[in-house]
Structure 1
Amino acid sequence: MIVYSFLILICIFLQIFCKKNRKIFFNLTIIMLFLVSAFRYNVGTDYEHYGNIFQWVLNGYDVYVESGFKILNIFVQRVLNMDVIAVYFISSLIIIISFAKSIKENVSSQYWFIGIFIFIGSGIYFASFNLIRQYIAIAIIVAGMPLLIKRRYIKYSILVLIASTFHTSVLIVEFFIVFLIVFRNKKNTKILWYIYIVSILCMIIDIRNIFNIFSMIIPDRWLWYLNSDFLLEKNTSAILKQIVPNITIIFLLRKRRCILKHNINADVYILGYFMFVIITNCFFGVLLLLRLSNYFDFYLIYCVPLIIEFWRYKENKRLTMWIFILYYLLLTIVTIFIMNGHGVMPYRTIWS
């Protein structure tokens, strides 16, 4: 807990004292985030599993491993001639650099602090310790954001296919591309409101039963999930995590036209975060299904500055920013420090 608390405090400290040179703040914070991630040892519930995958690939066992991640392991073994620690190092490098680059490109420098803070506080950073393959896939689509913004949908679609070699579930982003083409920069938001209302109704219905109906077409390697705690257990208290995202998306949808007048790219961020809220509303409390939302939760990093910038007076901007900071600080304390989400505590290094 001390290491993570130090990261958060340093992040705030650098924001206060590096206002005149935000690049120093940004680079120092990113370096610290990378070092903590890259040199962790046995941190994350799936940490040992990736060590097993490394051994399976090394010994030529006939087990399913996504081709992209398998190539990464082979590269570490045969080219670098190193052990599995290099896999964690390289994956951390890919993930942190991708998010850092995206924040620099899509967020105004005055909001780099809140962007990095949400990256940590929303759980994205801690989840990357655990779901390595999925977050390498996410890092790839995050890095491709300029293609999405410039409407180069075919190239972005190809990038998603490349990302799927690390985690197949990233293919859900292909549906988002179609969704974005249909609704991007459209003034009428009625259909979006209808979709949102349906997602609220899905919070009442147990949507998990659908998976049993379609079990015949689910690949064999995923069938065990149907009887796992990841799908069978439902944490109803997770509805508390839905309050702020739902308030946020309601605000963004209501003020969408006004926001678009000042930022033509804002619709990509708003619709991306809309997808996150819809998925988490439909599947709230079911860990397995909520993992699909990981491909869209990072859009909040770009949406919060839009909300802050919406207000005319500095007092309102400052108040809005601190509301988000306090909320995600509280969320980190509860989900990480108390509940030990993603199994990231206690923190150890490879030298421990």
Structure 2
Amino acid sequence: MTDREIITINNKTIINKTFFLRASLFMLFLCAALRLEIGSDYLLYQSIYNSSYEKYLSMGWVYTFESEFFRFLGLSFQYFIAFNSFIFMLGIYILLKKFSNYKYISLLAFLGSYAYFSSFNGFRQYSSISLVIISLILFYDKNKKITAILIFLISLGIHKSSIMFLPLYLFYIIKIRHKNYIIILFICLFSFFLIPDSLKDLLFVKILNLDSFFLDKYSDTESITGLGRSVFNKIFFLFYWLATFIYVIYKYKEKKKLDWIDYIYLVFFIINGFLPFSNIVKRMSYLYEIFSLVIFSRLLTQKFSITTKNVFKIIIFSVFLVRLISTLMNNGDGVVPYKNIFYH
């Protein structure tokens, strides 16, 4: 069952599944930690780090303290990058270890969804997001609310964008039934494909005046007008939607309750379905794309026939593999060609 299909031979375990996850993420950590001048943020943040300008740029009290501590120890920016890469990978490890029964599928989705490579271009926000993930797990799954709140505050001290995820803690009191969940899914699908983006932009900026609410996070970014989503973006929205819809339907048939992760992922469809495509929407989607690693694993744990389950595996594997190859062949948003401290 689940990961046994790649870590066993003739029902004999050849590799421990926890070791498999740790080894895989450790290799990805090394690629991130040892990268040299890779990612749009690298040279900018290296200059800020070397100039000790974090405090003057109001980059967050935790991030500033972290930078000052590394400089106090006499460590270069490369060690600073490695530490933040470790924070990001720690959140991924805790999430997949706890909630993914198909870790090899989740790891491929991690690469294919581009969450891993995006962390090269926004390492500060992804460090913050990782702490939000850990905080949510402690809040909902471990019932350690005080610790969870403290970790969330630390995430805010690294990147202020974490404030966008504060409403996710309301699912402790807000519950959504299966039928209502499915209705919301269809409304989001309708809004995503049929409501013009220009109309969403008008509602977002002119009527609700949310342009001023998000300040430079939105107003300094090219709006949806004249930009539009790419075909790949729309295809992947539909791909995520179908996986979630099938998963929720089967959960409804088996009379299994929806949990906080299911609720959180619904927010992804609401954000992308109703808000105009912009930098702020992309930033908000980072967290939900990471939670998609769990959704695909959960889909495969439903009681499908062996044939159906294998078809789903092939589709998921193929889609993320093709996207990964396609993205990397097109420069990978600045992460290709890869350079590290040993080879450049």
TM-score class, shorter-chain normalisation, is 0.7 to 0.9
- Kept in 1, the 8 Å contact 2:192–2:273? The answer is yes
Q: CA deviation at 1:116?
A: 1.4
**What residue in structure 2 maps to residue 9 of structure 1?**
none
**Is residue 2:44 matched to residue 1:39?**
no
Instruction: Give, as a single letter, the amino acid of the residue that structure 1 aligns with 2:251.
Output: R
Match of 1:119 among 110, 122, 135: 110
CA distance in structure 1 between the aligned counterparts of 2:253 and 2:142, rounded to whole angstroms: 21
Could you list the per-position Cα deviations for residues 109-165 of structure 1 after superposition, in whole angstroms to 9, with x for gaps in the alignment?
A: xx1211212111111111111111111111112223143224555653443222111
Unaligned runs of 5+ in 1: 1-12
Instruction: Give, as a single letter, the amino acid of the residue that structure 2 aligns with 1:91.
Output: N
CA distance in structure 2 between the aligned counterparts of 1:179 and 1:339, rounded to whole angstroms: 39
**What residue in structure 1 maps to residue 61 of structure 2?**
67
Alignment of 1:78-157 (within 5 A): 78=72, 80-108=73-101, 111-144=102-135, 145-152=137-144, 155-157=147-149
Equivalent residue pairs, number: 328
**Is residue 2:251 matched to residue 1:256?**
yes
CA RMSD of aligned residues (A): 2.9
SS where residue 311 of structure 1 aligns?
Answer: coil
**Is residue 2:154 matched to residue 1:162?**
yes
Q: CA deviation at 1:290?
A: 1.6
Instruction: Give, as a single letter, the amino acid of the residue that structure 2 aligns with 1:130.
Output: N
CA distance in structure 1 between the aligned counterparts of 2:275 and 2:54, rounded to whole angstroms: 37
Bigger shift: 128-137 or 94-103? 94-103
SS where residue 44 of structure 1 aligns?
Answer: coil
**Is residue 2:328 matched to residue 1:337?**
yes
Distance 1:91 1:205, change over 3 A: same
- Kept in 1, the 8 Å contact 2:119–2:126? The answer is yes
TM (norm. structure 1) is 0.82
Provide the identity percentage.
19
CA distance in structure 1 between the aligned counterparts of 2:310 and 2:78, rounded to whole angstroms: 42
- Kept in 2, the 8 Å contact 1:252–1:307? The answer is yes
Bigger shift: 314-323 or 86-95? 314-323
CA distance in structure 2 between the aligned counterparts of 1:138 and 1:88, rounded to whole angstroms: 16
Distance 1:195 1:159, change over 3 A: farther
Instruction: Give, as a single letter, the amino acid of the residue that structure 1 aligns with 2:100.
Output: V
Bigger shift: 290-299 or 208-217? 208-217
Q: CA deviation at 1:269?
A: 2.3
CA distance in structure 1 between the aligned counterparts of 2:186 and 2:162, rounded to whole angstroms: 22
CA distance in structure 2 between the aligned counterparts of 1:165 and 1:89, rounded to whole angstroms: 19
Instruction: Give, as a single letter, the amino acid of the residue that structure 2 aligns with 1:301.
Output: L
CA distance in structure 2 between the aligned counterparts of 1:158 and 1:24, rounded to whole angstroms: 30
Q: CA deviation at 1:98?
A: 2.2
**What residue in structure 2 maps to residue 277 of structure 1?**
269
Distance 1:217 1:24, change over 3 A: closer
CA distance in structure 2 between the aligned counterparts of 1:143 and 1:254, rounded to whole angstroms: 28
CA distance in structure 2 between the aligned counterparts of 1:16 and 1:285, rounded to whole angstroms: 44
Is the helix fraction higher in 1 or 2?
A: 1
- Kept in 1, the 8 Å contact 2:228–2:277? The answer is yes
Instruction: Give, as a single letter, the amino acid of the residue that structure 1 aligns with 2:111.
Output: I
Unaligned runs of 5+ in 2: none
Alignment of 1:183-198 (within 5 A): 183=175, 186-190=176-180, 193-194=183-184, 196-198=186-188
Q: CA deviation at 1:215?
A: 4.1
Distance 1:63 1:122, change over 3 A: same
- Kept in 2, the 8 Å contact 1:107–1:115? The answer is yes
TM (norm. structure 2) is 0.84
- Kept in 1, the 8 Å contact 2:222–2:278? The answer is no
Distance 1:189 1:64, change over 3 A: same
Q: CA deviation at 1:196?
A: 4.7
Distance 1:194 1:98, change over 3 A: closer
Q: CA deviation at 1:267?
A: 1.9
Distance 1:150 1:200, change over 3 A: farther
